[in-house]
Every structure is written in structure tokens, then in C-alpha cells.
Chain A
Amino acid sequence: MAGSDWGALMVAAQAGNGRVYHRLLTEVGDWLRRYYTRRLPPAMVADAVQDTLLAVHEKRHTYDPSRPFEPWLAAIARYKWIDRLRAMKSTPTEALTEDIAVTDHGDAVASAWSLERLLRELKPAQSDVIRLVKLQGLSIEEAAARTGQSISLVKVNIHRGLGRLASMVQRQPDAE
């Protein structure tokens, strides 16, 4: 997981060493980008990384040097992942246009694989509309027309499905 001794770097950061802290955050940021690439749609990865770096900064006093750094970081990353899944319920999804730029196809594939694994645990009516609206960028109306569900049912299924997804992630141990 870690390229260098992140625990020692964090101890120095807790003592106020800015140069070491910059190095730690850079390395942690790279790790977080890989972590979220496997768990979130590509468009959400950068925000999730920044959000988690801010959380690491705000909660750095909770790191105990007598314990390994990696589980501490992974717990915060997972908490923010669950937060993102919950936030998807209230975030309006913009429809994708044909000319949208695709820079890293590998990331998208990895993310889709991981999300697909989670979505398979949901009821088909829920996973179908989450795929269409939250991952493929269709409007609620388009998803309703494609699945045969009413517009209000699509909204309910997205809301409940994402809630269940967040609960599932919270209950299950993270494989990272």
C-alpha cells in the first residue's frame, strides 16, 4: 500500500513539519486516486480525493503512531466513499453529451467493474435505474421510458438503491 513509511511521515506532520506533510499528502493522494477509481464513476474521483485529503488534514490528530497508518487512512477513505454513495441520491445527474472527452478508458472500466459487482446485490428495478441515471447520465424521464417504471418510481428506486448500496458498503469489510 505505502511507498514509504507513511506513519513516520504523519508523526512529523503532527509535529508541524510542512515539507514532510506535503510529501505525505502527495503520496496519499495518489493512493486515494487509485482507491476511488475502483469504486466510483470517473467523474467523481477527483472530488472524492480532495474531500478525503481535507478529512485527513482535519482529523490528523486522531492518528495514533503506535498503530499502523494504512488502516487509519483506509477507514477514512471508506467513510468518504460511503458519503459519496449517499450524496449521489441528492446530486442531480446531468445528461452526457456525445462530444464529451474520454481521457482514461482504463479507469472507467475498473470503476464500472467494481460498481457492477455492488449493483448486482440490489433488486433489478433499483440497479437498472441507477445504471441508467447515475452512471450513463440519462434523465429520469428517459430512464422511466426505457425501464417502463413511472417517473416517481424511478426516483424512489434510485433513492432506495443508493441508500442500500451505502449500507452494504458500511457493513462489509473493505477488501483494499
Chain B
Amino acid sequence: MLNEQLLERLVTDLKPVRRRTWRRDALVFALLCVIELALFAGLGSARPDICAAMALPSFWWKLGSLGAIAVVGAAVAIVSLDPVESPRRGLHWLVGIVAICLAIGWLIDASGGGLQGLVARVDWPDGLECVGSMVLLSVPPVVGLGLLMRRGAPTDSGGTALAVGIAAAAWGAFVFVFACPYDDPLYVAVWYAVGCGLVTGFARLVLPWLTRW
């Protein structure tokens, strides 16, 4: 027998609800990203030599790769907030995109003069600073997508949290590209991977627990 008390409690004072749609979620997230980017640019955080940097292929490689990962990651995360949808296929696509991005970076690197002075190129003190900035810039998209995840009904919380983490990390790094003075693909591959990995790992561990329903 069903608990009649429970049914009465759920039915009493039933309020109309506004339906969740992926379009509205995507719009909310896009708005959040635009606001973050505008604030970042408005605060004068962009690198001073940005015009010169835009002539380099590595600048566009960074921007294009991170933008593609952020867009696909956010799409996978938002679609999977529907209980009927799984994020798994989208995550496979994301892995493929990340691999292609790294391969393009390697090609740019290989055409730029060999592998001399690898350790010097990695430049770890500045690298750690970059990681800190990327993580900080990933906070708004993690919070925004996390709130959407809490309102939605993901049935594969682990997969959705992974997509959220990848999208937020890639977006944070995307914004950081405008300030980062480094265009060396090796530097970018190492430190951007560390920064994105930290944000993604955090989201994967914490979000399923915070958004449990």
C-alpha cells in the first residue's frame, strides 16, 4: 500500500512549475560566460601584446581548442540534465576533441624548432601561477553549471559532473588565454592540462555529492 500521508503532503498546495528546457539552461550558462569574459576584459586583465599574439598560430590553437572543449562539454552536461539522457557518448566525443587539440599543438610545436630546453620551456613558477588563475576563472562556470545540475535531474551524476568539470575548466582556461603571455605549445599543454585536470577532478568528486537527488 502507498503511504497516503505522503501523497497528501505532495499534492497539498501544489504549485505550478516552470518546465526545464535545455535552451534556457544553455542561455543561462552562455550569459554567465559572457559576463565573466566582459568583466575579465573590463578589468584590464588582457595581455598587453595581444595584437602581436593574435598573429601566432599557437594563440588561435589555444583559443580554438579551449572554446571547442568548453562548448561541447557544456552541451554534454546540459543535455544530460534530462533524466532520460546519458552523458557517456558526449564524453567520448570530448576525449576525442582533447586528443585532436593536443595533436595539433604537437604539430605546431614540432614545426617550431625541436625539443631543446624542455625543462626551461615548461617554466614551472609561472606555470603554477597560470594554474591558479585558470582555477579561479573556472569558479563561476562550475557554480553556474552546478546549480543547473542541481535543478535538473541527471541520472548519471558521475558522467554529468565530469562534463561540467571539463566545460568549466575549458571555459576558465579560454578566458585566461587573453591574459596568458605564453604561446609555447609545450607550456600550454602542460600547465593548461594541470589546471583543467584540477577543476575537472574537483567537479567529478564534489558535484555528485552536492547535487544528489
Contact = CB atoms under 8 A, between A and B. Distances in A.
Contacts of B81: 62
B213 A55 contact: yes
B3 interface: yes
A72 B83 contact: yes
B45 interface: no
A14 B19 contact: yes
A99 interface: no
Interface stretch (A15-23, A113-121, A153-161): A15-23
Interface stretch (B54-62, B149-157, B167-175, B179-187): B149-157
Contacts of A123: none
Interface stretch (A63-71, A89-97, A129-137, A140-148): A63-71
B83 A79 contact: yes
Interface of B: 2-3, 6-7, 10-21, 81-84, 151-153, 155-156, 213
A49 B2 contact: yes
A29 B21 CA distance: 26
A110 to B, nearest CB: 18
A64 B21 contact: yes
Interface in A50-90: 50, 53-55, 57-65, 67, 71-72, 75-76, 78-79
Contact of B84 (A14, A22, A46, A71): A71
A22 B7 contact: yes
B16 A14 contact: yes
A63 B19 contact: yes
Contact of B3 (A13, A50, A57): A50
A18 B128 CA distance: 56
Nearest to B152: A62
Contacts of A65: 19
A168 to B, nearest CB: 14
- Most chain A CB within 10 A, of B10, B18, B81, B156, is at B10
Interface residues of A, number: 37
Contacts, number: 79
B153 A25 contact: no
Nearest to B157: A79
B207 to A, nearest CB: 16
A82 to B, nearest CB: 8
Q: Sorted from nearest, which 3 A-B pairs have the closest CB atoms?
A: A16-B16, A61-B17, A59-B153
Contacts of B16: 14-16
- Most chain A CB within 10 A, of B2, B16, B19, is at B2
B15 A16 contact: yes
B156 A170 contact: yes
B12 A18 contact: yes
Nearest to B16: A16
Contacts of B19: 14, 61-65
B155 A29 contact: no
Contacts of A58: 213
Contact of B7 (A13, A15, A29, A55): A29
A29 B2 contact: yes
Nearest to B85: A75
A51 to B, nearest CB: 10
A26 interface: yes
Contacts of A64: 19, 21, 82
Given A29-B2, A64-B21, A76 B11 contact: no
